Amino acid sequence: MIAGLAGGGRGTAARRRPLPKAQLEKVGIGVTGACVVLVIVLVATLIVMVCGQGLATFTVDGVDPWAFLTGTVWNPHASAADGQPLMGALPMIFGSFAVTLLSCAIALPVALCLAIFMVELAPEIGRTYFQPVVELLVGIPSVVYGLVGLEVVVTWTRSWAGGTGYGIFSASIVLAVMILPTITSLTVDALAAVPDAWRNGSYALGCTKWQTIRSVVVRSAIPGILTALVLGMARAFGEALAVQMVIGNAAQIPASLFELAATLTSILTLGIGNEASGTVYANALWSLALVLLVMSLAFILIVHLIGKKEEVTDG
């Protein structure tokens, strides 16, 4: 570019220019941008393809979406009197929501206690011992949780509740342990983000530690805790193998927590590989996958809304 810039008293160094800087920068943006574009294309393809397959039930096989979502009989191989295939997804949708809510109800209080212990009561022990433990819990493969659930939780449930031991109850216990680290670590972040000055303000008013935790720390961390909860729910809703191993996989709405049930993921796990693509049953399974996808996207949306609301209240 400007010849004058390089002239003058300069030139102590012998310069060779492999690639002009401006061009190098373009290469940098180009290479990294290409990575990003590839990721976007992958995600877009995923959503479009799963949606496309999932909608075939309604567009190709002509099933009424409302009947699909609310029907209680799942037997796509057979047809009802009106010639429509029997594909009511309600048992699976119910099962997924039931295990999600129940496991969160179990995990949230425990996670909250753990997080309070780690941030407020014993920060030193929390950092050195609990942090690695929580990270380790995240790392344990879900099939291992499923296996332990099968051998311990199901057996234990059978011993006092009778029946097979499989069902929503066992699945919720296993899921609660699985999502505990997710909720705990996000709650820890939320509690740690509360400024110390607020705690000191509360102590200065003569409040006890517990009063401070309850009415200052936890209260101001509620948006963060909610985010933790929703992400935990998303994980529980989408978990497949561990649930499939302990829930029993009967596509029915169970009368109690101890009867065989099924979730979207468990039926998908079992069915998808056994069906030739294009059949009515395969299409119905993809519709279940579509419901799963839509719910996952809904969880992301909720997290976004919580974040946005927090931004508005903050500033």
Partner 1 sequence: MNASSSAVLGAPATSAPASALLATRDLTVSYGAKEALHPTSLSFRKGEVTAFIGPSGCGKSTLLRCLNLMNREVVGCTMGGRILYRGRDILAPDVNVYELRTSIGMVFQQPTPFRLSIAANVAFGPRHHGLAASREADLVERALRRAALWDEVKDDLKKSALALSGGQQQRLCIARALAMEPEVLLLDEPCSALDPISTFAIEETIRDIAASGVCVIIVTHNMEQAGRVSDRCAFFYLGTMVESGPTLELFNAPRTQRLSDYLTGRFG
Partner 2 sequence: MVEVRERVQDRPTQAAPCDVAIEGKPHAEPLSKDPIALSSKPSMFERYGKGPEADVPKPLEGTPVDVPVDFQGLEDLARASRRALVSDKMARIAIEIVAGLVVIMLAALIAKIVIDGWDKLLDWNFLTGKPEQFKEGGGIGPELFNSFYLLVLTLLVSLPLSLGGAIFLSEYAPANALTALAKTAIETLSSLPSMIVGLFGFLFLVLQMGWGFSIMSGAIALTMFNIPILVRVISQALEAVPQGQRDAALALGLTRWEATIHVLIPAAMPAIVTGVVLSAGRVFGEAAALIYTAGQSAPALDFTSLDLASPACPWNVWRPAETLAVHIWKINSEGVVPDLSAISNGTAAVLLVCVLAFNLLARVVGRALERRITAS
Stretch 17-76 residues interacting with partner 2 (CB under 8 A) = 21-22, 24-25, 27-29, 31-40, 42-47, 49-50, 53
Got the DSSP string for 111-128? HHHHHHIIIII-HHHIII
Q: Is 164 in the site for partner 2 (CB under 8 A)?
A: no
Q: Which listed residue (101, 106, 147, 253) binds partner 2 by CB under 8 A? A: 147
Q: Please state the closest distance from residue 132 (CB atom) to partner 2, in A.
A: 7
Q: Which listed residue (179, 234, 261, 262) binds partner 2 by CB under 8 A? A: 234
- CB-based contacts of 138: which residues, under 8 Å, 6+ apart? 181, 182, 185
d(CA 34, CA 13): 36
Of 22 and 312, CB closest to partner 1: 22
Q: Please state the closest distance from residue 182 (CB atom) to partner 2, in A.
A: 11
Q: Residues in the site for partner 1, rule: CB under 8 A?
A: 1-2, 4-6, 8-18, 20-22, 25
d(CA 301, CA 295): 10
Q: Which listed residue (211, 256, 279, 309) binds partner 2 by CB under 8 A? A: 211
Of 19 and 43, CB closest to partner 1: 19
- CB-based contacts of 311: which residues, under 8 Å, 6+ apart? none
Of 15 and 274, CB closest to partner 1: 15
Got the DSSP string for 234-267? HHHHH--HHHHHHHB---S--SSTTS-B--HHHH
Element (H, E) at 301: helix 280-314
Of 21 and 83, CB closest to partner 2: 21
Binders of partner 2 among 239-298, rule CB under 8 A? 239-241, 244-245, 265, 268-270, 272-273, 277, 286, 289, 292-293, 296-297
Is 61 exposed, middle or buried, given 0-12, 13-18 or 19+ CB atoms closer than 10 A?
middle
Q: 214: how many CB neighbours lie within 10 A of its CB?
A: 13
107 and 179 Cβ atoms separated by less than 8 Å: yes
Binders of partner 2 among 97-136, rule CB under 8 A? 109-110, 113-114, 116-118, 121, 129-130, 132-133, 135-136
Q: Please state the closest distance from residue 34 (CB atom) to partner 1, in A.
A: 22
Of 84 and 131, CB closest to partner 2: 131
| CA dihedral of 105, 107, 112, 117, whole degrees rounded to 10 | 150
Of 28 and 65, CB closest to partner 2: 28
At position 159, the amino acid (one-letter code) is S
